[in-house]
Chains A and B, each alone.
Chain A
């Protein structure tokens, strides 16, 4: 299996055997190959991160940690963290649960499987802006089709104000994010399910293991590393989410759906407080850095297994 950080080097390329024919044969050659990309990442990703961190230290009282001191006692900041946790955990759990259920359902030969696979790709491929437009339309309190379905439930006689109620608005942005995101997780889990060796199931049948026992002792251990890896990816996907939240609720009502990304944007472009926005961005950077390290560790585990 192809691996990201492990070696698949040709023997001939090891330095001791490299022929020295100018730049191409020299030790500097690999570095020259990555230099343009490194320069761009340095200039437009790494440098802005550092500059943002510097913004955060630049306070009216001079260079200092005032922003971070303020952050510790800022109720808005802690509410944002709370909203981010609720949003992120719900998205991760829902996306993996739905993704896995669907993958299990599809892990079976049937006619039209290719069609279902292609249909599955659609929500994932539709850009976020049209997704936001569609969800807003479906939830409109006066003519949204979602309300028409909801009214079929006995006892529901009024169309809820989806985007004006803090709890419902959170449910809406979670729902839209999960809907747009889950196909990827389903497709990856499906391929993980198909990598679980057949022999294990054959052996289980001979031992008369039931359906549940097969799932518990064969399927689940077989896909656990992939599941963990995907949990980290879903975590990153949901903490990055800006466009859907911004266009569906604008972070509201009040600040009920303001998670990390909209909070940074708001501080910077609504309140023009680049310095405090920088401080929140540093928190975001920290979260994402930790998640990346988890990803690397889990990725090695997936590779070790396959």
Chain B
């Protein structure tokens, strides 16, 4: 954040207004954060405490039994592993497709570029529910149901439009003098991409990988329609199943939720700004 305004133009003593504002921010943050707090607290205290009414706001005692039970009795480790596998395949597929395409969008001039951009936006905005039934029919025809590779391919198709915008914005920021100097030195455009542009856009590549990874990690609709064998369950699918099984103890369910959320929360915080830019297709600075 470069500029702060309008009250911050001069350094001065905090006023009553500042104090009120601060208080409002604290209260609102607490309200916003409450469900997250509740999820964590419910996972680390004895079930009996969560199941009483009214439930105490602060945990009376800490009991990590839920996490032990989660990892011993439920195949969460396997689910997380399979989610990691599918998400990693999605990242690889995304990078392969998005690097050349973003380069063409950002650095090359060609008739049809705007139309391609429009097509990408179109696919980015399309609700997954619109295609889920025909995709299932297509996948059944190909024998691709219960296949994690095929699921990753589908996740790739749904995340590349967003990733193309993020990486394009990153390519746009490479000074064109550098590119022109490389061209004069005899590099062709393919070499310019690999030897000049990519090394300068590592943060963009990281952002794209994170977006692709967690788009796949979080995805539920396609996974639940295309994967039926429970030995192939990914974590979002496994978690949703735990939720509908009445015999899952509540605190185990909450522990599973926390375990599943840790990675995306940490990584999203790290790449927040890139995400903002990508989700508005570059129209808004993050």
Residues of chain A having any CB pair with chain B under 8 Å: 1-5, 7-15, 19, 21-22, 24-25, 27, 29-34, 36-38, 40-41, 43-49, 51-52, 55, 102, 105-110, 113, 116-138, 142-143, 145, 147-148, 151, 159, 179, 184, 187-188, 191-192, 194-195, 198, 201-202, 205, 226, 229-230, 233, 236, 239-240, 242-243, 247, 260-262, 264-265, 268-269, 274, 277-278, 281, 284-285, 288-289, 291-292, 295-296, 299, 302-303
Contacts and interface: CB of A to CB of B under 8 A. Distances in A.
A269 B103 CA distance: 40
Contact of A281 (B113, B133, B267, B286): B133
A46 to B, nearest CB: 7
Contact of A105 (B24, B106, B133, B282): B24
B264 A126 contact: yes
Given A21-B188, A126-B264, A133-B254, A194 B134 contact: no
Contacts of A285: 126, 130
Nearest to B109: A9
Contact of B134 (A51, A123, A226, A295): A51
A205 B250 CA distance: 56
Contacts of B188: 19, 21-22, 24-25
B116 interface: yes
Nearest to B236: A129
B199 interface: no
User: 6 closest pairs, A vs B, by CB?
Assistant: A130-B257, A148-B54, A125-B268, A261-B129, A48-B134, A33-B100
A30 B218 contact: no
16 contacts: A4-B117, A13-B108, A13-B189, A29-B189, A37-B100, A49-B126, A120-B32, A124-B268, A143-B51, A202-B6, A233-B280, A242-B127, A260-B127, A264-B133, A268-B132, A289-B122
B96 interface: yes
A266 to B, nearest CB: 10
Interface of B: 1-9, 18, 21-22, 24-25, 28-29, 32-33, 35-36, 38-39, 42, 50-55, 57, 96-98, 100-101, 103-110, 112-114, 116-123, 125-138, 153-154, 156-158, 160-161, 164-165, 168-169, 172-173, 176, 179-180, 183, 188-190, 214, 217-218, 220-221, 225, 236, 239-240, 243, 250, 253-254, 256-258, 260-261, 264-265, 267-269, 272, 275-277, 279-286
B172 A123 contact: no
Contacts of B113: 30
B109 A13 contact: yes
Contacts of A15: 109
Contacts of A19: 188
A122 B35 CA distance: 10
B28 A138 contact: no
Contacts, number: 358
A133 to B, nearest CB: 5
A22 B8 CA distance: 57
Contact of A240 (B106, B127, B183, B256): B127
B213 to A, nearest CB: 12
A5 B279 contact: no
B279 A116 contact: no
B80 to A, nearest CB: 12
Nearest to B217: A127
Contact of A125 (B119, B164, B173, B269): B269
B137 to A, nearest CB: 7
Nearest to A285: B130
A238 to B, nearest CB: 10
B53 A288 contact: no
Contact of B254 (A12, A137, A295, A302): A137
A35 to B, nearest CB: 9
Given A138-B35, A145-B54, A191-B286, A126 B127 contact: no
A302 B127 contact: no
A129 B271 CA distance: 22
A260 to B, nearest CB: 7
B265 A122 contact: yes
Contacts of B1: 113, 194
A48 B135 contact: yes
A265 B129 contact: yes
Contact of A109 (B4, B53, B284): B4
B243 A132 contact: yes
Nearest to A141: B53
B53 A188 contact: no
A102 B173 CA distance: 30
Nearest to A101: B28
A156 to B, nearest CB: 12
A52 B261 contact: no
A55 B281 contact: no
B218 A38 contact: no
A133 B112 CA distance: 45
